[in-house]
Structure 1
Amino acid sequence: MSDIAGVRLLGPGQIRGLAAELGVRPTKQLGQNFVHDANTVRRIVATSGVGPDDVVLEVGPGLGSLTLALLETAGRVVAVEIDPVLAARLPRTIAEFAPGRAADFDVVTADAMTVLPADLPVTPTALVANLPYNVAVPVILHLMTHFPTLRTVLVMVQAEVADRLAAGPGGRIYGVPSVKARYFGDVKRAGAIGRNVFWPEPKIESGLVRIDRRDPFGTDEAQRAATFAVIDAAFAQRRKTMRSALAGWAGGAPRAEELLREAGIDPGIRGERLDVADFVRLAQAAGTDPVATR
């Protein structure tokens, strides 16, 4: 264990002890791999840049490893945990390992894929989480969409997912997650995490991704939805030209070409060569087109 500012962090023994007490066996279905290394959780918190003025939203806190590290630094932490057994134990864990910060912690038993601001007792300013690998991208996009107060995001995800999120136009791995994440702001790789800091040890590598929210295209929900629809259509058949890939979305290849030219985009280009601003212009060109915006 480690102790800073009255907060004790969980080590391997405490992690296994809590799991045994609760009868918890980590499952692939919930993407459960518990971090047991104090240096790792402190590095995640430091990389996130959160401080005493931040209210941190943590998704999937599990047994509380990262939660305790966040309470060393953040002003407040609200955790969203889908597992009712884990959620019920967390307040006691915080009271035991960080008694001076117990009043600054809340846990909500909910699915991060559907949670909304009204479900939380506080308004979060940052998202810091070790996300279940199988739902990482949908969770990030859902929270960025519905929680406009989130200004920074630092998440640990599967290394391959981290690479895809941070990829730029033109690369082989650049795709839907890359473009949609950039709709909200700047995205970058923020480090790697070794397998040996988890229990059980996963078979895949992990990585950190940081998103600094800028809202470069505003916060209009209709525009975001329209832009995301274009992105989905463009990458559904990524080997095709935009004229062909967007035929179904636009109501025909000729109409797709018209919209592409109106947006200043070469109809013969592929989606992987376009940045998020191109997709926004295309969605704006479609405007109220009854087919393209359906």
Structure 2
Amino acid sequence: MTRLLAVRDIRAIADALSVKPTKTLGQNFVIDGNTVNRIADAARLAADDVVIEVGPGLGSLTLALLPRAAHLHAVEIDGRLAGALAATVAARAEDQAEKLSVHHRDAMTVRPDDFDPQPTALVANLPYNVAVPVVLHLLSVLPSLQKGLVMVQAEVADRLTAPPGSKVYGVPSVKLAWYASSKRAGSVPRGVFWPVPNVDSGLVAFTRREPPPGNRKDVFAVVDAAFAQRRKTLRAALAGWAGSPQEAERILVASGVDPKARGETLDVAAYSRIAANRGERT
């Protein structure tokens, strides 16, 4: 039977490892068993799902996820934490220990060959300072990844799931929409973390879908250009990308987009059309 970590257990493990959570690594450890169970339940894992957990830390969420998954890949950049995780699982969930693979590395460098079996679900309390790049990187390099539930800063959760036209709709919103549909899946209070952060947290659930037609790098280049000057019309914002304001207008019209519109009004399909029409002259 799995025994989740209580507050005293977390403190004891941290003391034994001389671990003090650092802002540099974005470390805020969850210390509440009810919260990790809620996150694990909200992930809606199937019995055959292979989980990748980024930043498992002291193992609180890891212990809640293992009984619900076929296998779990824990990717931890902190060597002390990576080195201790298997022992924590063996001590508190001996019957689940064979399901765990620990990878001591930066999640931004992982590739499919690093994992056997291949991950199908991302479930993680992501470090606030790298949450968006990690999600986008993993969706980019792991085609087996079909769904996920991540805990991030509340403001980031809003941005990732924002629809076109929203005040917080921006580059993260469009790029995640390229890979997946997403939604807010709940809020997490500050008091369940150690140390207590000065921001609220939110859960984001996503499900992979077929991307729009086109080359992802080309589409993302348009997105970056459009939001680099988001207060300008697209005709002006895309002038550098297209070569001139006139060429930007031609591309936009050919894509069925009003040149006077702004980037935050377009969905990912519109950006895909814009990228496709670059260089195509009638």
- Shorter-chain TM band: over 0.9
Counterpart code for 1:282: I
SS at match of 1:113: helix
Partner of 2:69: 74
Q: 2:197 aligns with which of 202, 218, 228?
A: 202
Please report how far the alpha carbon of residue 216 of structure 1 lies from its aligned counterpart in structure 2 after TM superposition: 3.4
Q: Does 2:90 align with 1:98?
A: no
Unaligned residue ranges in structure 1 (runs of 5+): 1-5, 290-294
Percent identity of equivalent pairs: 57
TM-score (ref. length: structure 1)? 0.93
What pairs with 1:53-202 in structure 2 (closer than 5 Å)?
A: 53-202=48-197
Unaligned residue ranges in structure 2 (runs of 5+): none
* Inter-CA distance 101–201: structure 2 relative to 1 (3 Å threshold): same
Distance, in Å, in 2 between the alignment partners of 1:18 and 1:217 is: 46
Please report how far the alpha carbon of residue 235 of structure 1 lies from its aligned counterpart in structure 2 after TM superposition: 0.1
Structure 1 residues 136-187: Cα deviation after superposition (integer angstroms, max 9, x where no partner): 0011100011111111110000000001111111111110001111111211
Partner of 1:46: 41
Counterpart code for 1:273: T
Q: 1:257 aligns with which of 233, 238, 249?
A: 249
Distance, in Å, in 1 between the alignment partners of 2:185 and 2:148 is: 11
Structure 1 residues 35-66: Cα deviation after superposition (integer angstroms, max 9, x where no partner): 01111111111111112110000000000000
Please report how far the alpha carbon of residue 96 of structure 1 lies from its aligned counterpart in structure 2 after TM superposition: 0.5
Partner of 1:272: 264
Distance, in Å, in 2 between the alignment partners of 1:55 and 1:185 is: 18
Partner of 2:230: 238
Distance, in Å, in 2 between the alignment partners of 1:119 and 1:76 is: 14
| Aligned partners of 1:192 and 1:208 also within 8 Å | yes
Distance, in Å, in 2 between the alignment partners of 1:111 and 1:248 is: 34
SS at match of 2:203: strand
* Inter-CA distance 243–72: structure 2 relative to 1 (3 Å threshold): same
SS at match of 1:8: coil
Partner of 1:227: 219
Structure 1 residues 7-50: Cα deviation after superposition (integer angstroms, max 9, x where no partner): 11111011100000000000001010110111111111111111
* Inter-CA distance 101–178: structure 2 relative to 1 (3 Å threshold): same
Structure 1 residues 93-137: Cα deviation after superposition (integer angstroms, max 9, x where no partner): 111111001111001011111211112232000000000001100
TM-score (ref. length: structure 2)? 0.97
SS at match of 2:81: helix
Please report how far the alpha carbon of residue 287 of structure 1 lies from its aligned counterpart in structure 2 after TM superposition: 5.8
Partner of 2:28: 33
Q: Aligned residues, how many? A: 281
| Aligned partners of 1:108 and 1:120 also within 8 Å | no
Distance, in Å, in 2 between the alignment partners of 1:127 and 1:276 is: 23
Distance, in Å, in 2 between the alignment partners of 1:21 and 1:89 is: 10
